[in-house]
Amino acid sequence: MGTEVLALICGLAAAASFGTGDFCGGFATKRSSVYSVIVISQIFGLALLAGLVAVLGESIPSWNNLAFGGLAGLFGTLGLIALYIGLAQGRMGVVAPVSAIVGTVLPIIIGIFLEGVPSEGQLLGLALGVCAIWYLAGGGSTALLHPRELGLPILAGMGFGVFFVFIDQVSETAIFWPLVTARVVSITTLTLFIMMRRAQATALWNGRLLLTVLLAGFFDALGNILFALASSMGRLDISTTLTSLYPAGTVFLAWLILRERLAPRQWFGVMVALIALILIAS
């Protein structure tokens, strides 16, 4: 099996993992503090990544690669904070798809600049993939967009996009150490933000709820690993587009477990994603 096929599989697996993690995290935030869910899931993810470093014995990369990992964690966390503030202040149907699109388009542009232009079929697949992400994340509403609504989701998307770019740069020399560094910086940034906002992170006393949060941390860490593997074996633009299809996993689990109805535009997004996948893999 060639590295391009493995990169494709890892990218799709990363999307499934991130989608599952977001479903678990979203489910937990309906019953507990958002800050509790984020911090506990991040700490558990750090423990998993550190354990893998110890078991696999991955060599410590150069300090500049660790610094890139730390910057990835910083920008990813700033994107997450901007996303949650945007969701709290604005319309989810605007914030979610705009942040998803910006977080995908930015690495695509940088990937093309660094790695050259992909084939025409793959370019079409990337374009359709971006469209699929928009509809899967809840875009396509006929409501008018106001410019003031776009600031936070654009910042969130830029944070996520820069995270993907930095992880792609360091994944060629190491996988787990940069992710550990990113997670340490992420937890530190989140803790400082919570202290500045004087927000309360309520304790998770329910065993089932705690398990859900830990699952969110597990799948988030797994998604990071799978993306790092995908980008190390394949192109940044393709790996990012495939990984960013994660809303498909979230909406599928919501439909399967919570019996939530999928909007017609989300079913349309699923079909477009399948077409994009065929073109990217061609």
pLDDT tens string 66-118: 999 999 999 999 988 888 787 667 666 667 778 888 888 899 999 888 888 88
- At 63 the three-state DSSP class reads helix
Mean pLDDT, the chain, whole residue set: 85
Whether the pLDDT of residue 1 is over 70: the answer is: no
State the DSSP code for 198.
T
pLDDT attached to residue 260: 75
pLDDT tens string 217-240: 999 999 999 999 999 888 898 999
Number of H helices, E strands in the chain: 11, 0
Residue-wise DSSP of 199-255: --------HHHHHHHHHHHHHHHHHHHHHHHHHHHS-HHHHHHHHTTTHHHHHHHHH
Q: Pick the closest to residue 156 from 205, 214, 87 (CA basis).
A: 87
Answer whether 245's CB lies under 8 Å from 131's CB: no
Whether the pLDDT of residue 134 is over 90: the answer is: no
Torsional sign, CA 190, 83, 199, 32? negative
Q: How far is CA 94 from the centre of its chain?
A: 17
How far, in Å, CA of 189 to CA of 99, rounded? 20
Whether the pLDDT of residue 144 is over 60: the answer is: no
Tokens read off for 45? 């993810």
How far, in Å, CA of 123 to CA of 132, rounded? 14
How far, in Å, CA of 186 to CA of 119, rounded? 36
pLDDT tens string 172-191: 778 899 999 999 999 999 88
pTM: 0.88
CB-based burial of residue 251 (10 Å sphere; 0-12 exposed, 13-18 middle, 19+ buried)? buried
How far, in Å, CA of 66 to CA of 277, rounded? 33
Tokens read off for 39? 């911090």
Which CA distances in Å does 52 have to 59, 77, 157, 218, 259?
Answer: 12, 22, 29, 12, 36
pLDDT attached to residue 74: 94
